[in-house]
Chains A and B, each alone.
Chain A
Amino acid sequence: GAGVSQSPRYKVAKRGQDVALRCDPISGHVSLFWYQQALGQGPEFLTYFQNEAQLDKSGLPSDRFFAERPEGSVSTLKIQRTQQEDSAVYLCASSLVARLASTGELFFGEGSRLTVL
C-alpha cells in the first residue's frame, strides 16, 4: 500500500486477555518503530527494528509486551494479560533508511486504539 497500515484500528479487551496489533510498513522501509500514546500525551517510544533485528526494546513497559518482525516487513506487537493501564493508541512508524536521522522522517500509521475494560 501507499502508507503504513495498522490493524485493528480499534480493539476492546477484557482485563487479562492477550491482544495482537499488526503493522504493515511502507514497502522497502528498513526501520520500524512502535510508540504508545496515552490520552493527552505525546507518543512514547516502545521498540525499534532494523529489518528483522530488534535493536532497541528499552521502551517496552513490562515483559507482558513483546514485538516481532520475523521477515523484516510486517510487525506484530503483542500484549499479554492486558491491564487497564495498557489502554492507549499504539502507533507504528517506518523509515526508509537504517539511521533515522539521515532522513529525519518517520511515516506513521493511524494507530490502533486499545481499550482495556
Chain B
Amino acid sequence: AQSVTQLDSQVPVFEEAPVELRCNYSSSVSVYLFWYVQYPNQGLQLLLKYLSGSTLVESINGFEAEFNKSQTSFHLRKPSVHISDTAEYFCAVSNTNAGKSTFGDGTTLTVKP
C-alpha cells in the first residue's frame, strides 16, 4: 500500500515570492512521483515527474521538485511565483509495477499581487 501526505492545504504568497509545496509519501516498494496542477475550471494536468535518474526535475514554467528517498519527500518549489500560478497542486505516487496513481489531498496555492 502507498499513501501521500501534502502537508499544507492552503499556501498564500505574494507575487514574486518563493514558494514550497510539501509532499511526503510512504511505500514499501520503489515508486514514481508526480506533481499535477489544476487551474480553475480545468482538468488536472501533469506538471513534472520523477521516474529515475537525476533527483531534481523541472517543469517548463519554472517549478522544480527534488526526490529525497531518505526523507520520502518530493517537495515542489518555485523561486518566484506569478499570479497565473494560482491553482491547486496535487502530489501523486505510483508503484513502479502498478497502473494506478495515489494522490494527496492537494494544496491550494494563491498568489496575491
Contact surface of A with B, Cβ cutoff 8 Å: 3-4, 31, 33, 35, 40-45, 48, 50, 55-56, 59, 91, 93, 98-101, 104-111
Contact yes or no, B99 A55, CB < 8 A: yes
Residues of B within 8 A of A104 (CB): 32, 34, 46, 49, 51, 94
**Which residue of chain A lies nearest to B31 when distances are taken between CB atoms in the complex?**
A101
**Which residue of chain B lies nearest to A59 when distances are taken between CB atoms in the complex?**
B100
Contact surface of B with A, Cβ cutoff 8 Å: 4, 6, 9, 32, 34, 36, 41-46, 49, 51, 90, 92, 94-106
Q: How far is the CB of B87 from chain A (nearest CB, A)?
A: 14
Given contacts A100-B100, A108-B44, contact A42 B49 (CB under 8 A): no
Residues of B within 8 A of A48 (CB): 99-100
**Which residue of chain B lies nearest to A98 when distances are taken between CB atoms in the complex?**
B99
Residues of B within 8 A of A108 (CB): 36, 43-45
Contact yes or no, A101 B32, CB < 8 A: yes
Residues of A within 8 A of B96 (CB): 101
Contact yes or no, A41 B99, CB < 8 A: no
Contact yes or no, A106 B46, CB < 8 A: yes
Q: How far is the CB of B56 from chain A (nearest CB, A)?
A: 16
Residues of B within 8 A of A106 (CB): 36, 44, 46, 101
- Complex Cα gap A105–B6 (Å): 20
Contact yes or no, A42 B106, CB < 8 A: yes
- Complex Cα gap A59–B49 (Å): 24
Contact yes or no, B46 A43, CB < 8 A: no
Given contacts A42-B90, A45-B100, contact A111 B43 (CB under 8 A): yes
